[in-house]
Chain A
Amino acid sequence: MQGNYLAKRIGQALLTFFATVTLTFVLYQMMPGGPEQALRNQILSQQMGSSNTINPEQIEQLVENYTNLESDAPIYVQYYQYMSSVFLEFDLGESLYSEDTVTSLLAERLPWSMLISVYAMVIGYSVSIVLGAVMAFKEKSRFDSVSSVVVIGLNSTPYYVAGILFIFFFSIRNNVFPTGGRYGLGIEPGFNPAFMQSIALHAALPILSMSVLGLGTALTMRGNSVRVLGEDYLRVAELRGLRNSRIATQYVGRNAILPMYTQFMIGIAGVLSSSVIVEEIFSYPGVGLLVYDAIQVRNYPVLMGSLIVFTLVTIVAILIADLTYGFIDPRISSGGNNE
């Protein structure tokens, strides 16, 4: 059964990726007047600086270079060419305003986005799981009610508002963290402590404000734990004289976390989504900022490429989560009903 489960999950991941690339193709076609019309103005304004005039064939050629779409071919040929260039040549087109290919632009930025997203997820979720569990253990205590209100309050704060407040208090009022960028000026990149420290300082605030996103989980965790704490098997475990730590992790923790699986899955996509706004606020040059810059000048190939890469990252993350989930909950991989 294990192999079957694995194959099914990987098949689903591939299908999702295929569907996303198809979606970007559809989005290109949905542009008013098709991709050629939509890109013409961009290309014309871009060519304005150089004095050479440009004729319609050249525009068509440029559109093809940028987007992998040959706009006068029949639609199925276009679709085939587009898909094959993405899947076989890993070619996502070319940026309209620089000489770079979209793939190289994204490859340069992606690690930075991953850095802050992964830490934000890990911090946000582990803090809220622990907090939720403690709240449940101390149900109806003062700690429980105070932290409930605090969590609800944080949950109502958009992450970008949190970001603005962080900048205000930590960067402008007290010069603890820098306001933007990846690392300080004049620091030699490489494996030296100063560089590492600078990266950590610059990433701290974006990570903090993105992890606000995950905090709503604390309330779900609290509810689940309270429910599990009332179950009969827990009383049996206590009567068996098991250690409290074992009851807390193996019995309560495990059974309370498992139902939140879908929430985590959506959380992965949510954190990547939020990077567009967070990276702009902190002018942190990751993929999100690339999207932001691309939208300002309608740099469609970069936009579509970013969408594809964002989805790819999510797919891989969900796949990893899926496969590890089978370890934690054996019912899934043995073909039991999900949910």
Chain B
Amino acid sequence: MSNERPDDDLETLFDADIDREPTPRSQRLKRQFDLYVVAPARVAMTDWRAVLGTAIIAMYVLMGTVGVWLVDRPTSGDAPTLVPPFQNPNYILGTDTFGQPIGAQLIHATPDMFRMVFAGAVVSIGFAALVGVLSGFLRGSKIDTILMSITDIIITIPGLPLVIVLIAIFQPGDPYVIGVLLGLDNWPGLARTVRSQVLSIREESYVEASQIMGISTGTILRRDVLAQLMPYITVNAALASRRIIFESVGLYFLGILPFTTLNWGVMMNIAYEGNALSKPSMYHFLAFPLLTIFLMSFGLVLFSQGMDSVFNVRLRARHSSTIDDDGGPEP
């Protein structure tokens, strides 16, 4: 499925009447699929971090979708209180002080967690990409100065106290709103990274070439700049998600967010307030939520680390079947 050789290309370039057969749509789709889905997946398979990270995240997604459907929502008094784990097959992870199975609680907390993470990641990544690309591309202009001043101000304000004040004022219960609030203090750091990336991409010769060819700024941004930024955006989306999980669970744990939903942090709060640390009979009540949070962020960190290698262009070219394997493009 190899394309024309380079000298064919040259000939067509100098050929006055280009009478080339346009690549059929299905072929183009196939090629794009190979480039953007198959090759990255192949690279990912070679990186144990990406594989393990994806597997862990997939497990949580299953927990939040199929798991919720399979396991009944727990209510108080479902079971005897404080059953130790791994004893009764009905509640493998044991039960808490109210007689709610811990496993079921963990599972039913997952969908709201995902809603929060989704809203927060979208807000922080979206803001960061928008501000970073815009001010990087308009470097030195008024807009750049203003955007970067705002970014620096928000970087400086410690996020958690600000979020706490906002929560105190608005008392949000909806997971999407909480996610957005947590995402708000998350974007400036990434916006700065994106900006400096844009600055260095702008200097690349292919961007200059596009500009000389008279391609519109919008197209250059989309095709040359944004494509190069995707690695950073994906890696940072995973890290932003981890941060939002940390912060939201932390706030639930402190009891600052209203206990309107099941959440791992709420469970930790109840266990911790009940002095679980000094009562061996309650260890599992605190330990399993802790483990759940750790595992999920472990998955996200591994995923982001693995993605770094997936987005390495040369590595990807080597694994793609629709690109000639002669070293790939020079970066």
Q: Nearest residue in A to B53 (C-beta to C-beta)?
A: A152
B253 to A269, Cβ gap below 8 A?
no
B156 to A315, Cβ gap below 8 A?
yes
Binary interface profile of A, 1-33, with partner B (CB < 8 Å = 1, else 0)? 000000000001001100110011001001110
Number of interface residues of A (CB under 8 A): 53
Binary interface profile of B, 157-191, with partner A (CB < 8 Å = 1, else 0)? 11111101110110000000000000000001100
A65 at the interface (CB under 8 A from B): no
A12 to B152, Cβ gap below 8 A?
yes
A262 at the interface (CB under 8 A from B): yes
Bound-state CA distance A119–B305 (Å) is 29
Give the tally of cross-chain contacts (CB within 8 A).
122
Q: B137 to nearest A CB, angstroms? A: 14
B249 at the interface (CB under 8 A from A): yes
B302 to A152, Cβ gap below 8 A?
yes
The residue from A15, A161, A270 contacting B153, defined by CB atoms under 8 A apart? A15
A307 to B297, Cβ gap below 8 A?
no
A303 to B277, Cβ gap below 8 A?
no
Bound-state CA distance A298–B272 (Å) is 23
Known: A164-B286, A303-B165. Is A273-B160 also a contact (CB below 8 A)? yes
Bound-state CA distance A32–B170 (Å) is 8
B259 at the interface (CB under 8 A from A): no
Q: Nearest residue in A to B148 (C-beta to C-beta)?
A: A338
Within B270-311, the residues touching A (CB, 8 Å) are 272, 277-278, 286, 290, 293-294, 297-298, 300-302, 305
- For A219, what are the chain B residues with a Cβ–Cβ distance below 8 Å? 305
- Binding site of B, secondary structure by majority: helix, strand, loop or mixed? helix
- For A164, what are the chain B residues with a Cβ–Cβ distance below 8 Å? 272, 277, 286, 290
A307 to B162, Cβ gap below 8 A?
yes
B278 to A172, Cβ gap below 8 A?
yes
A307 to B277, Cβ gap below 8 A?
no
A177 at the interface (CB under 8 A from B): no
Q: B204 to nearest A CB, angstroms? A: 15
A262 to B189, Cβ gap below 8 A?
yes
A-B contact pairs, 18 of them (CB 8 A): A12-B149, A27-B169, A38-B169, A156-B242, A156-B300, A158-B294, A161-B290, A161-B294, A167-B277, A172-B277, A172-B278, A273-B158, A273-B160, A277-B250, A291-B164, A303-B161, A303-B164, A311-B157
Sample of 11 further A-B pairs with CB below 8 A, known A266-B189, A277-B253: A12-B152, A15-B149, A16-B156, A23-B157, A24-B165, A157-B294, A164-B286, A274-B160, A280-B254, A291-B161, A311-B158
